[in-house]
Amino acid sequence: MKIHPQSIQNAEKATIREDKLKNYSLDTESERGYHKAKVFESVLGYNLTNYGQLLDKLKSGVITNPGTIGL
């Protein structure tokens, strides 16, 4: 995977908390996260059964895309 020349500094060291994805962002049973989980599934097609694919895309995207300051 090639690092984008304008990616954020140390992008290859970025960490994404799996527990946040599984227990909040993609959990339709979470009191606080169920709205997000419904959007992730209906719009993007991600849920608890395929969260690994989303995790891989997030990790890859941080490295292969330019960073933007202030958004």
Whole-number pLDDT of residue 44: 97
Q: What does the domain layout of the chain look like in residue ranges?
A: 11-64
**CA 46 to each of CA 25, 37, 67: distance values in angstroms, whole numbers, following the listed order:** 10, 8, 24
The contacts of residue 32 (CB under 8 Å, 6+ apart) are 24
**φ, ψ for residue 15, nearest 5 deg:** -120, 145
Whole-number pLDDT of residue 57: 95
Global confidence as pTM: 0.81
Digit-coded pLDDT (tens) for 5-39: 898 888 889 899 999 999 999 999 999 999 999 99
Digit-coded pLDDT (tens) for 40-50: 999 999 999 99
DSSP reduced 3-state for 50: coil
